Homo-oligomer: A and B are copies of this chain.
Amino acid sequence: MEYELIAELTREWVDEAGEMLRESLKNTSLKIEEKTNPSDLVTEMDRAIEAFFVEKIQKHFPDHKIFGEEGTYDEINDLSGFIWIIDPIDGTLNYVKQKSNFCSMIALFKDGEGVLSFINDVIHEDVYFGIKGKGVFCNDRRLETVPPHSLNEGLIAISTKMVTNESEKTKEVVQEALGVRLIGSAGLEMIQVLTNRVSAYITNDLSAWDIAQGYMLATELGLTFTRRDGTPINLMEKNPILVANSQAHKEIVSKFVKE
């Protein structure tokens, strides 16, 4: 099947999942559990949306592998073949506490390379998506390439852990930018870079389901997406992330590797 056709199908799933998520916020008795700590939550909706995507994928693409945040793991020892990577709710803490500022993400990779990706900013009903070689869109609007510019000409997005466990290097980077922004959803932070609302997003260790979708879109749009030290990301392990336009990326990497 052509990637455009797979993307059309995926878009239907993404829209349906978004609708389910918006509906779920009217439910006042959402089941919430802690995972590793009080800020690491999983709700019944994380599980329901993942199950929804998994069912669709298994029906249409029974030979594809699946990698999902909430426990759907095929035995994946390498990145060969087709792999779907799902984060049913990215920013679950915001979903619970803010009823906004979360997204639902799904991407398809082939032999380690992203071929299509969707990030749905559910509350604002903005679906960001890309198909390899065809560009990146928000709903019907094609995103423009981000012009390279310096760190000191723009804002920078970081994560809570970068604030609470701040290193001298982080401080140096942050002080050079015009200001800090922090939404609390890796997917939405990456969208901020794609839409040039921030110049860079830097964060601590993230897993494949947190980054694969943004990685595909950023790469398609010509942004630079690497580990924080400038080396390539590895979807098989956790990665400290840096995504930025080429100029800001170069400047930030030089700070993180200079000693």
Closest to A156 in B: B160
The dominant DSSP class at the A interface is: mixed
Give how many copies assemble into the complex: 2
Q: Which of B94, B97, B163, B181 contacts A174 (CB 8 A)?
A: B163
- Assess the B160–A179 pair: CB atoms within 8 A: yes
Count residues of chain A with CB under 8 A from any CB of chain B: 29
CB of A125 to closest CB in B, whole Å: 12
List chain B residues, Cβ under 8 A from A152. Answer: 38
- Is A100 close to B, CB under 8 A? yes
- Is A76 close to B, CB under 8 A? no
- Is A110 close to B, CB under 8 A? no
- Is A93 close to B, CB under 8 A? yes
Q: How far is the CA of A99 from the CA of B196 in the complex (A)?
A: 10
Contacting B at CB under 8 A, from A131-171, are 152, 154-155, 158, 160, 163-164, 166, 171
CB of A138 to closest CB in B, whole Å: 13
List chain B residues, Cβ under 8 A from A175. Answer: 164
List chain B residues, Cβ under 8 A from A180. Answer: 160, 163-164, 182, 184
- Is A98 close to B, CB under 8 A? yes
Asked whether A39 and B182 contact (CB < 8 A) given A155-B97, A164-B171, A164-B174, the answer is no
Proximity bits, A82-119, B CB within 8 Å = 1, else 0? 00000000000110011110000000000000000000
- Is A197 close to B, CB under 8 A? yes
Proximity bits, A215-238, B CB within 8 Å = 1, else 0? 000000000000000000000000
Q: Which of B94, B100, B182 contacts A182 (CB 8 A)?
A: B182
List chain B residues, Cβ under 8 A from A183. Answer: 181
User: Hey, which bits of chain A sit against chain B, CB under 8 A?
Assistant: 38-39, 93-94, 97-100, 152, 154-155, 158, 160, 163-164, 166, 171, 174-175, 178-184, 192, 197-198
Closest 8 CB pairs of A and B: A182-B182, A98-B197, A39-B178, A160-B179, A160-B180, A163-B180, A164-B175, A39-B179
